[in-house]
Structure 1
Amino acid sequence: MSRESRTVIGFSLLDGLYWAFYAVFVGFIATYLLACGISNSILSILLAVFMACSFAGAFFWGGLCDRHHTNKKVFLPEFIGSVILSLIIFFLAKVNLWIAAGLYPLFGFFSAPLGSNLDAWMIKRFHKDAGMYGKARAVGSFGYAAAALVIGLLIVQVGYIVMPIGIVICAVPVALLASAMKEDPYPQTCEHIEHVNASALLKIRPYIYMIVILFLTGLACAPINNLKIVIMQSVGGDVGMLGIDSFIGTTIQAVFIFASGRLKRIPPYVRLIMMTMFALFDMVLIVTAGSPVMVIIGSVMWNASYGVMLPTVREITEKNVHGALKNTAHAMADAVYSSFAGIVALIYSGFMMDSFGARSVAVLGMVIMILPTVMAFFALFQGRKTRGDVN
C-alpha cells in the first residue's frame, strides 16, 4: 500500500469517527434536553447562545492555527475539551438542567471549529487535491449517518444512556488517530503572525460574496435543522425516525462530497446555484409535509445542498485567501453558515414554532431563500467578469 493511500485511509477513519462523535452528542442533545424538561422557546435561545460561542470559537481556534502554523496541535486539546464537556453536560442535565444548559454554549466554543480545523488539516496534507479530500470527507459524512441511525434507534429501545457510551467509543480512537497522523509544514511564504486580523478577509470580494450567500442560506436552514425533532413530531415521527432522517440525508451528503473531484469541473458559481436550489426545495417539502417521509426527503435536499456547498466553499477559500489567514477563513465560513446565521434565526424560531406551528419557520425560510438564490443566479449571468472573481 502506498504512503498516499495510507494517508487517505488514516484521515478517512479520523474524519469518520470524529463526525460519528459529533452525531452522537450534537445530533441528539436537543431532544435530550427537551426530554429533561426544557421548552422549545428556551431551547432556541440556548442554541442561539451556543452558536454565538461557536462563532467566537471559530476565530479563537482558527486564529491559533494561523498564528502557530499548526492544525494538529490545536485540534487535540480542542477535541479533548469538547469530549469532557459533552459528558459533563449529559450527566449533569438530570441533576441540574440549568447548569448543564449553561455549559452547552462552552461546548460550542470548543467543538464548532473542529470540523473546519480538520478539513484545513486534510486539505493541506492532500496538497489541495479535491478528489482525495472528497473521499476522506465523505467517510466523515458516512460516519455521521451511521452513528445517527444507530444511536437514534438505540435511544428508542434503550434510552438516552447510549449517548455517553457512544461518545467514549468514538472519542478514544479519534484522539489516538489525531495523535498519530502527521501534518505538512506550512509553506515558507506563509509568514509568522502574532495577531490574526480577520478584517482583512472583508477586502476579498469573491470570499465575501460567498459569505453573504452562506449567511442567508444558513439563516433559512438553521431553525429547521436544529429543531428538526419538533418538525418530525408534528407529522407523527419520533426520535427513532429522526435517526433514520439523519442517516438517509447524510448518506446523500457523503455521495456529493465523495464526488467533489468530479463536481469541480462545474464552475463554482454554478455549484452555488445548485446549493441554493436544493435548500429551497427542502423548505417547500417541509411546508407541505404530511408525513415523516416528506420531512426525510426534505433532509435529502438539504444534505445535497450541503454536499455541494462544503467542497465549493473550501475551493473558493483556498483560491482567494492568503495563506496566513486560511484557517481563520475556513472557520469563519463554517461559523457564518452554522453559527452566526443560527444566532439570528434561533432567537425567533422557538417562539414561531410555539405560536404558529412547527412548520412556520420553513415558510419564512422559503422567503429568505429567494435572496441567496437570486444572488447565485446574478453571479451566473455576470459572465466573464464575475466568473473571474468567483474562480
Structure 2
Amino acid sequence: MNYVDTKTFLTFSVMDCLFWAFFAACAGFTTTYLLECGMSSSVLSIMLAAYMGASFFGAFFWGPLCDKKQTNRNIFIPEYIAAVATGFLIWFFASRNYWISACLYPIFGFLAVPLGSNLDSWMLRAFHKDAGTYGRARSIGSIGYAVMALGMGMLIGMFGYITIPVCSITLAALVLAIAFSIKEETFESVVVKTDRKNSGGIKDLMKIGPFMFGVVVVFFTGLSINPINNLKTVFIQNVGGDVGMLGMDSFIGVCVQALFIFISGNLKRIPANVRLFLMSCSVLITMVLITTAINPWMIIAGTVFSNMSYGIMLPTQREIVETCVPDQMKTTAHSLSDTMYGGFSGIIALTYSGYIIDAFGARYVSMLGICIMMIPCVLTLFKLFFSKKTV
C-alpha cells in the first residue's frame, strides 16, 4: 500500500464508510419523507434547487476556508455537527409544518454537501496523494452508502420514518468519535510548497485548462443527472415502484460506483480524456433507459450506468486536481468540481424539473437529459480526436 500505513488507511476507510452511510440515512430518504408528508413535486424541486444553490455557496465558503486555515479536520468537525443538527430539525418539522423543513433544507445543503469534498481532500493528504489508496478507501465509503440505503428502505418499511433520525444520529456520533481521534498532519508535511503567486482563488483556477475542461464536462453531466438522482422516488413510483425499490436502486447503483472507485488506480492507465468520454456516454445511456422505462428494474439499470459514470468521474477529477492545481488551492478546486456537478448544475436543473414532471410527466425530464448529455459527449469526443492529432 505504498507508504501509507495500514492504521491510517483503515481509520479513514471506516470514517468514510460511516460518513456516507449517514448521508444515505439522512439526505437519501428525507425527500421521500417530505413527499409522504404532502409536499408536491414542484415545491420539492424548488426546495432542492435552493439546497443545491446553498451547497454551491457552501463549497466556495468551506473549501477556501480549509485552504486558508490549512486544516481539514478543524473545519470538518464543527461543520458536520451543525449539519447533523439541521438534518434532525428537518425531519422533526416535516410532519408538523413541512414549510419549515423546506426553509431549513438549503442550510443543510450549505453545511452537508461540502463535507464530502473536505473529507476527500483530508484523505488525499493523509494518503500522500496516492490515488490507488484513495480509491480503495473511498470505495468503502460508497459501500457504506449502498448498504445503508438498502437497509433504510427495509427499516422504513418496518418501523416508519423514525428510522431516519435514529440511524443518522448514531452514525454521526461514530463519525465524530473517529474524527476527534485522528491527529491531522500539517499541510506542509504532505505537500510541496508553491510560490505565493500561485495561491490565488477561483480566477487562477479558471486559467488551468485541463481542470476547467473537466469542470465543464461534469457541469453538463450534473445538469442532466441531477433531476433523476434527486427526484428518483418520483421516477420509480411512476413505473410502479415503492420505497423498498428506492433502497434497492441505491444499493445496486452505489455498489457499482464503489467497484469503479476501488479500481480507479488501475483505470489510471486509461487516459483521462478517454475516461471523461466513457463517463459522459454512461450517463447518456442512463437517460435513454429512464426515458424508455416500463418497470422499476429499467430505472435501476439506468442507475447502474449513472453510478458507473460517477465511479469513473470522481477519481478522474481528483487526479486532474492533484496533477494540475497548485497545492494551496486543492481543497477549493475539489469543492468547485463537486459543486459544479451537484450544486450549480442542480440549481438550474431542479428549478424546472419539478414543473415539467407535474405538467408533462417524468419522462420529459429524462428526454431533456438526453439532449443535454449530447454536449459533454461531443466535447469529450472532440477532445479525444484533437489530442490524438497533436500526438
Q: Give the TM-score normalised by the residue count of structure 1.
A: 0.96
Return the letter of the residue paired with 2:64: G
Which secondary structure state, in structure 1, belongs to the residue aligned with residue 38 of structure 2? coil
Deviations 1:207-261 (A, max 9, x none): 1111111110000001111000000001000011000000000000000000011
Distance 1:343 1:349 in 2: 10
What residue identity is the alignment partner of 2:335? A
Aligned mates of 2:390, 2:336 — CA distance in 1: 23
Task: Confirm whether residue 373 of structure 1 aligns to residue 374 of structure 2.
Answer: no
Q: How do 1:67-86 residues align onto structure 2 when only pairs under 5 Å count? A: 67-86=68-87
Q: Cα deviation per residue 1:38-94 (whole Å; 9 max; x = unaligned)? A: 110011001001100000000100011010111111110111111011111111222
- Counterpart residue number, 2:299: 295
- Runs of 4+ in structure 1 over 6 Å off: none
* 1:218 match: 222
Alpha-carbon distance between aligned partners in 1 of 2:215 and 2:134, rounded to the nearest angstrom: 22
CA distance in 2, matches of 1:262, 1:181: 29
CA offset at residue 323 of structure 1?
Answer: 1.0
1:172 alignment partner in structure 2: 173
Once residues 102 and 193 of structure 2 are traced to their aligned partners in structure 1, the CA distance between those partners, rounded to angstroms, is: 44
Hey, what's the Cα distance between the residues in 1 that align with 2:196 and 2:26?
36
2-structure distance, mates of 1:121, 1:88:
28
User: Which residue identity is paired with 1:34?
Assistant: L
How many corresponding residue pairs?
386
Q: Secondary structure at the match of 2:161?
A: coil
Instruction: Report the equivalent of 1:119.
Output: 120
The 10-residue stretch of structure 1 (125-134 or 301-310) with the greater mean CA deviation from structure 2: 125-134
Instruction: Give the Å deviation of 1:192.
Output: 7.6
CA offset digits 1:1-26 (Å, max 9, x no partner): 99711111100000000000001111
Partner Cα separation in structure 2 for residue 264 and residue 220 of structure 1:
26
CA shift digits 1:311-363 (9 cap, x unpaired): 00000011111111110000010000001001000000001111111121100
Task: Answer yes or no: is the 8 Å Cα contact 1:145–1:251 preserved in 2.
Answer: yes
C-alpha separation between the residues in 2 aligned to 1:386 and 1:367? 30
- State the 1:308 CA deviation: 0.3
**Aligned residue in 2 for 1:9:** 10
Match of 1:31 in 2: 32
Q: Residues 289, 146 of structure 1: CA spacing in aligned structure 2 closer, same or farther, 3 A cutoff?
A: same
Q: 1:385 to 1:60 in 2, by over 3 A?
A: farther
Give the drift of 1:136: 0.5
Does residue 350 (structure 1) correspond to residue 351 (structure 2)? The answer is no
1:268 is matched with 272
**C-alpha distance in structure 2 between counterparts of 1:158 and 1:262, whole Å:** 42
Separation in structure 1 between the aligned mates of residue 93 and residue 352 of structure 2, nearest angstrom: 27
1:336 corresponds, among 340, 343, 347, to 340
In the TM superposition, residue 383 of structure 1 has moved relative to its aligned partner by 2.3
Please say if residues 223 and 349 of structure 2, whose CA atoms lie closer than 8 Å, have aligned partners that are also in contact.
Answer: yes
Residue pair 2:33, 2:161 contacting (<8 A) in 1 also? yes
2:330 to 304, 307, 326: 326
**What code does the residue aligned with 1:150 have?**
G
State yes or no: 1:155 paired with 2:161.
Answer: no
Distance 1:84 1:297 in 2: 35
Distance in 1 separating the partners of 2:182 and 2:277: 36
Give the SS at the match of 1:183: coil
The question of whether the paired residues in 1 share the 8 Å contact of 2:256 and 2:304 is answered with: yes
Q: TM-score, normalised by structure 2?
A: 0.96
Q: Report the RMSD for the aligned CA atoms in angstroms.
A: 1.7
The answer as to whether partners of 1:380 and 1:386 remain within 8 angstroms in 2 is no
- Output the CA distance in 1 between the equivalents of 2:151 and 2:388: 48
The unaligned stretches of length 5 or more in structure 2 are: none
CA deviation string 1:106-139 (max 9, x = no partner): 0100001000100011111111111110110000
Other structure's SS at 1:189 match: coil
| Greater shift in the superposed pair: 341-350 or 175-184 | 175-184
In the alignment, the residues of structure 1 paired with residue 196 and residue 116 of structure 2 have an alpha-carbon distance, to the nearest angstrom, of 24
Identity percentage over the alignment? 51
Q: Residue 187 of structure 2: SS of its match in structure 1?
A: coil
1:196–1:65 Cα change, 3 Å: farther
CA drift of 1:101 comes to: 1.1
CA contact (8 A) 1:241 1:292 kept: yes
Alignment correspondent of 1:247 = 251
Query: Would the aligned equivalents of 1:67 and 1:192 in 2 still touch at CA under 8 Å?
Result: no
Conservation of the 8 A alpha-carbon contact between 2:276 and 2:313:
yes
Cα distance in 1 for partners of 2:389, 2:203 equals 25
Which one of the candidate residues 234, 241, 244 is aligned to 2:238?
234
Q: CA deviation at 1:197?
A: 2.3
After TM superposition, give the deviation of residue 183 of structure 1 in Å: 2.6
User: Which residue is 1:96 aligned to?
Assistant: 97
Deviation of the 1:184 alpha carbon: 2.5
